[in-house]
Amino acid sequence: MNFAIPLKGHIENKKLSTVYMLKIIVKDGENIERALKRYKRKHRNIKVMQNLRDGQFFTKPSVKRRREVQKAAYIQNLRDQEDI
């Protein structure tokens, strides 16, 4: 049994809308709750909602770069604390 769930993302200020298609293959005898869990994980991993939120407003390249550096420093700090 195959489930293909279309997710349509529309951003008001942009003319183009993006269509994401997630395919969840439910095997015979598999619990529907398990399939839903896999769907939710895929949805989270492809960052559909994050991309929609990020595209609503313009972010300057310098701000994007600063956030990436801050995130990298935060992750490095966490890894350094694990080693201690």
Separation of alpha carbons 50 and 65, rounded Å: 17
Q: pLDDT (tens digit, 9 = 90+) per residue, 25-77?
A: 888 898 989 999 999 998 888 888 888 888 889 999 999 999 999 999 999 99
Q: pTM, whole model, 2 decimals?
A: 0.48
Instruction: Report the chain's mean pLDDT, rounded to a whole number.
Output: 82
Residue pair 9/17 in contact (Cβ under 8 Å)? The answer is yes
